[in-house]
Amino acid sequence: MLTLAFECNSLNLCVGLLRDNQLIQQSQINDGFSHSEMLVVKIEEILKANNIWYQDLDLVVVGNGPSSFTAIRVALSVAKMINISCQKPVITVNKCEILTFFYNNKLFLKNNNNSQLKVTTIVNACGNEVFFARYCLENQSIKCLDQPSLINVEELVEQLKNSQDFLIFDQQISYNNFGDKVTNQFLILQNDAYSLGLLGLEKYRNFANTNSISKISPIYLLEPRISKRK
């Protein structure tokens, strides 16, 4: 099964191609200003390098936020284009899920003897705000405790003071907002198209025979910053 996975957020763009559960190739750009110019270019570079084209794909997995309005719009527009023109199924995965899935699969299960761990994922927004979500990792499964939402940094710091949650930040800049305000154990994880693809595949296999496959819809949480006409 050939899966194309891609995600754009405020700083990064990543694209990956998987065959079943194996990564064939992935690419990443750490430039938040070139999503609209580079996403399709990077997708087609990877497809051409592997003698594959859109009609050969079996599944498309796309990150749907939370992130900047422009980044999400670019990624979902490309996913919709493939869905409409090639009739390929699309699964959406949110950024907080990706980070938690990556940690659970590659780090937590290998480095911890505990059977359960509560995790708070923190994604950069703007200024003094962040996106966050909470999950419980238990017996190789992930249960969502709180869906992604937008929160002021100081408010989240207060919530974390009485918490033993393990913290996962998506960028160094996200962690910088907290500094020494929290004492929880933490990790900073980068974008990973492979984990995005694996999580999308898992969702597709779980829901392929039902009507629950996710729609191609964004998680904005933050309104686009457009100035009103005078």
Q: In the chain, what are the domains?
A: 2-94+191-207 (3.30.420.40), 95-188 (3.30.420.40)
d(CA 182, CA 176): 11
CA distance 112 to 99: 17
Helix axes 35-49, 69-86, angle to 10 degrees: 40
Whole-number pLDDT of residue 11: 73
Residues of 137-158 as b/e, b for ≥16 C-beta within 10 angstroms? beeeebeeeeebebbebeebee
Contact 71, 224 (CB under 8 A): no
Q: What is the pTM of this model?
A: 0.87
What is the residue whose two structure tokens read 């929160």? Answer: 151
**Rounded to 5 degrees, what angle do the CA atoms 188, 201, 212 make?**
110
What is each CA distance from 94 to 25, 118, 174, 204, in whole angstroms?
A: 22, 18, 17, 14
Handedness of CA 169, 13, 151, 64 (dihedral sign): negative
**Which distant-in-sequence residues (6+ apart) come within 8 Å of 204 by Cβ?**
59, 61, 89, 91, 213
Amino acid residing at 45: E
Per-residue pLDDT of the chain (230 residues; tens, 9 = 90+): 999 999 987 678 899 999 999 999 999 887 766 777 899 999 999 999 999 999 999 999 999 988 878 888 899 999 999 999 999 999 999 999 999 999 988 766 555 555 788 999 999 887 889 999 999 998 778 999 999 999 999 999 999 988 999 999 988 888 888 878 898 999 998 768 999 999 999 999 987 654 445 567 777 555 544 444 44
186 neighbors 175 (Cβ within 8 angstroms)? yes
Q: Shortest CA distance to 156 belongs to which of 138, 174, 137, 136?
A: 174
Report how far residue 135's alpha carbon sits from residue 101's, in angstroms, rounded to the nearest whole number: 10
Assess contact for 184 and 167: CB atoms under 8 A.
yes
Report d(CA 41, CA 35) in Å as an integer: 10
Single out the residue of 5, 168, 18, 177 nearest to residue 99, CA to CA: 168
Ranges of beta strands (E only) in 94-207 are 116-124, 129-138, 141-152, 166-169, 186-188
Give the position of tokens 């390929």: 88
Per-residue pLDDT at 224: 45
